[in-house]
Amino acid sequence: MLKLDSFLEERRIVVDAALDRFLPSESERPYILHQAMRYSIFCGGKRIRPILCMAAADLFCDSYEPAIGASVALELLHTYTLIHDDLPAMDNDDLRRGKPTSHKVYGEANAILAGDSLLTLAFEVLAGVEPSAPGQASRLIYELARASGSRGVVGGQYEDLASEGKDPTADQLDFIHLNKTAALIRAACRMGAIAGGASEDDLEKIGVFGERIGLAFQAADDLLNATSTAEQLGKAVGSDAEREKMTYVALYGIDQAREKTKALLRGAMSALQALSRPAPILESLATFIVQRKS
Amino acid sequence: MLKLDSFLEERRIVVDAALDRFLPSESERPYILHQAMRYSIFCGGKRIRPILCMAAADLFCDSYEPAIGASVALELLHTYTLIHDDLPAMDNDDLRRGKPTSHKVYGEANAILAGDSLLTLAFEVLAGVEPSAPGQASRLIYELARASGSRGVVGGQYEDLASEGKDPTADQLDFIHLNKTAALIRAACRMGAIAGGASEDDLEKIGVFGERIGLAFQAADDLLNATSTAEQLGKAVGSDAEREKMTYVALYGIDQAREKTKALLRGAMSALQALSRPAPILESLATFIVQRKS
């Protein structure tokens, strides 16, 4: 586990350096807007999506370099969803990654604009990076856009808000978690594999891995929200129950949610084993994602 | 002028049919989110950006077909900016294109999400359309993203909000109008030219045309806001003065703003005349943009 810790730390440093290169400087106008973009990017975060993306590329071409642009785009996009989800009109959260949320620091209008800018920059980065194969940039952009729009992350957030206070159903819960969380983690794995030149067959299988580990990630999140402390988590806890959110815990209870999480992890592992080559790093990452404490 | 009216109407129908094809159906989940996306797209709009984009393509390859995807993306993107600009935290407008704004109909959270979805779909469309030349998709995506993020439209909106109530200066006014309005109209012209296979030299010049006509468009908008009626305009009038917005009218007064508009139109026309071929349709469109009554 100690070895994984240093691996994660090393990769996080690579991702953060790349984010710093691609983000506009705070000394470029509009200063406050660029400051707000950087604030939310650099106020914490485990960089799980970029690290999965880089690991997927590494698996197929023995280098994470071709996946740097995609990794940056994934983190920009993920951070925009956090900023917008935290807004007063949405989840109205004051704390994120242990710090005040964007709208608490910069005001609501600027938080909306910082989110919009990060979303747009994600696509600018993907379109501007020299692709390692012809047509690769538009493939990556299509993956990211498809996973994150109304048929993906935004659609999941819509249903999440719409289902607050309603009786949880397995169908509705699956729709929310598949779209709000799993779609982007699936895209992270697929984008890394595309950047690494994976075969169609491997691409399909790593997508299945990504989807299952994405659901397991969300199940672990639901459990942490129900059982952890705010200090451990860096954001409000118990808030899901308070808002009557549709979660694994609400639908199945804590014990069954734990079983569900383990089953999802097993499913993810078997998808990995079907790949054309062994993937020990992705295995470790999958275990980490499920067992993390924050 | 009658001929231009029927030309605009004919092109508007082409654009609307393409938008309808690319937008998710209201019968696809999440239903209300897809309904909200379609509501704002189809509740009016002159489709000036798509029509300029198609005209630019037509000029260089005698067909607007290669620019259909870019035209759809431009209108999706433009409409997202209107939805977010109208939000209570921003301009707090109740009326747009003569109809209630998105947040008045669907609530604030859904309006934010509908905007996010339209922005994301713009890039999905560009990445998914079969390009007419290798690498063209990422070139178009780069143009659109660069023009619309924090160094373009969103940056302009940020400065627009930040400058409310302050004494207008020419420098600040130029920054706002160049970014908030002209950047996307410039991108529309350039994207059409790229889709039509224009030379680098023509691309440069049509970009200058786009920027000038974009500024003229905004100057005309400022004048309409100061001198028109709500009925003619389909949105609130006099609101710029009320909010102490930085406009051509606020800085120069009505007469000088009119002169400024004419000068910008002349500048746009001379950029057109420098192109490698005559552009009578773009000339007519430029005149229309400045002389329109709504």
Whether residues A141 and B142 touch (CB distance < 8 A) is answered with: no
Closest-CA distance of chain B to residue A252, Å? 24
- Chain A residue closest in CA terms to B145: A124
- What does the pLDDT read at residue A168? 83
Q: Report the residue from A28, A109, A123 with minimal CB separation from B89.
A: A109
Residue-level pLDDT at A2:
56
Instruction: Flag whether residue A164 sits within 8 Å of chain B, measured between CB atoms.
Output: no
Please report the residues numbered 248 through 267 in chain B whose beta carbons come closer than 8 angstroms to any beta carbon of chain A. none
Question: Are residues B134 and A135, on separate chains, in Cβ contact within 8 Å?
Answer: yes
pLDDT digit string, tens, across residues A249-277: 999 999 999 999 999 999 999 999 999 99
Q: What are phi and psi of B79, to 5 degrees?
A: -65, -40
**B162:A32 CB<8 A:** yes
Closest partner residue to A116 (CB to CB) among B84, B109, B137 is B84
Please tell me the distance in Å from A249's CA to the nearest CA on chain B. 23
Contact residues, chain B, for A159 at CB < 8 Å: 29-30
User: Comparing A116-120, A250-254, B157-161, B194-198, which segment has the lowest mean pLDDT?
Assistant: A250-254
Nearest to B138 among A84, A127, A144 (CB): A127
Q: Which residues of B touch A24 (CB under 8 A)?
A: 150-151
For A36, A211, B69, B227, the CA distances from B253, given in Å and listed in that order, are 35, 59, 40, 12
Give me the total of CB pairs closer than 8 Å, taking one residue from chain A and one from chain B: 160
Cβ contact A232:A293 at 8 Å: yes
Secondary structure of chain B as H, E, C letters: CHHHHHHHHHHHHHHHHHHHHHCCCCCCCCHHHHHHHHHHHHCCCCCHHHHHHHHHHHHHHCCCHHHHHHHHHHHHHHHHHHHHHHCCCCCCCCEECCEECHHHHHCHHHHHHHHHHHHHHHHHHHHHCCCCCCCHHHHHHHHHHHHHCCCCHHHHHHHHHHCCCCCCCHHHHHHHHHHHHHHHHHHHHHHHHHHCCCCHHHHHHHHHHHHHHHHHHHHHHHHHHHHCCHHHHCCCCCHHHHCCCCCHHHHHHHHHHHHHHHHHHHHHHHHHHCCCCCCHHHHHHHHHHHHCCC
User: Taking a contact as any Cβ pair under 8 Å apart, which residues of chain A between 52 and 111 contact chain B?
Assistant: 84, 87, 89-90, 107-110
Q: Which residue of B has its CA nearest to A129?
A: B138
Q: What is the arithmetic mean of pLDDT over B202-223?
A: 96
Provide the shortest C-alpha distance from residue B144 to chain A (in Å): 8
Contact between B142 and A127 using a beta-carbon 8 Å cutoff? yes
Backbone angles phi and psi of B235, in degrees to 5? -150, 175
Predicted local confidence at residue A213, as pLDDT: 98
Q: Which residues of A touch B161 (CB under 8 A)?
A: 109
Q: Give the pLDDT of residue B2.
A: 56
Q: Which residues of A touch B121 (CB under 8 A)?
A: 145, 149-150
Residues B124-138, mean pLDDT to the nearest whole number: 91
Percent of chain A with pLDDT over 90: 85
Question: So what's the pLDDT on residue B152?
Answer: 98
Q: Does residue A231 surpass a pLDDT of 70?
A: no
State yes or no: pLDDT of B168 exceeds 90: no
Q: Do A127 and B139 touch (CB under 8 A)?
A: yes
For residue A32, the chain B residues in CB contact (below 8 A) are 158, 162
Task: Tell me whether residues A120 and B116 touch, CB distance under 8 A.
Answer: no
With H, G, I as helix, E, B as strand and everything else as coil, classify residue A147. helix
Structural domains for chain B: 2-291 (1.10.600.10)
Q: What are the beta bridge partners of residue A95?
A: A100
Answer whether A149 sits within 8 Å of B33, measured CB to CB: no
Task: Calculate the alpha carbon distances from A181 to A93, A133, A173, A178, A222 in Å.
Answer: 18, 29, 11, 6, 12
Cα–Cα distance between B78 and B122 in angstroms, integer?
A: 10
Contact A120 B154 (CB under 8 A): yes
- pLDDT for position A70: 98
Confidence of residue B294 (pLDDT cuts 50, 70, 90): confident
* Distance (Å, whole) CA B245 – CA B239: 8
Nearest to A131 by CA among B127, B130, B199, B124: B127
Length of chain A: 294
| Interchain contact, A128 vs B142, CB within 8 Å | yes
Span B86-123, pLDDT tens digits: 999 999 999 998 899 999 999 999 999 999 999 999 99
Contacting residues of B for A117, CB less than 8 Å apart: 149-150, 154-155
Q: What is the pLDDT of residue B14?
A: 98
State the pLDDT confidence band at A230, using cuts at 50, 70 and 90.
low
> Does residue A40 belong to the interface with chain B, where contact is any CB pair within 8 Å?
no
Between CA B230 and CA B56 the distance in angstroms is 32
pLDDT for the residue B131: 79
Tell me what pLDDT residue B233 has. Answer: 67
Question: pLDDT tens, B17-70?
Answer: 999 999 999 999 999 999 999 999 999 999 999 999 999 999 999 999 999 999
Who among B89, B138, B154 is closest to A116 (CB)?
B154
- In terms of pLDDT, which residue wins out, A44 or A131? A44
Per-residue confidence at B1, pLDDT binned at 50, 70, 90? low
**Closest residue to B158, CB basis, from A113, A121, A148:** A113
Among A41, A78, A158, the residue to mutate for chain B (most B Cβ within 10 A): A158
Q: Is B185 on the interface with A (CB under 8 A)?
A: no
Quick one: pLDDT at residue B235? 67
Segment A35-56 mean pLDDT? 97
Q: Is B165 on the interface with A (CB under 8 A)?
A: no
How much is the pLDDT for A153? 98
Higher-pLDDT residue of B199 and B98 is: B199
A16 interface with B at CB cutoff 8 Å: no
* Chain A residues whose beta carbon lies within 8 Å of the beta carbon of residue B34: 150
Task: Return all residues near B185 (Cβ < 8 A) that are at least 6 apart.
Answer: B48, B49, B52, B210, B211, B213, B214, B217
* CB contact B33 to A (< 8 Å): yes
pLDDT in tens, A58-102: 999 999 999 999 999 999 999 999 999 999 999 999 999 889 999
Residue A243 has what pLDDT? Answer: 84
Spatial separation of the C-alpha atoms in residues A214 and A94, rounded to whole Å:
25
Inter-chain contact B157–A127, Cβ cutoff 8 Å? no
What is the overall mean pLDDT for chain B? Answer: 94
Name the closest residue on chain B to residue A144, using Cα atoms.
Answer: B124
**Residue A291 vs residue B211, higher pLDDT:** B211
Q: How confident is the model at residue A294 (pLDDT cuts 50, 70, 90)?
A: confident
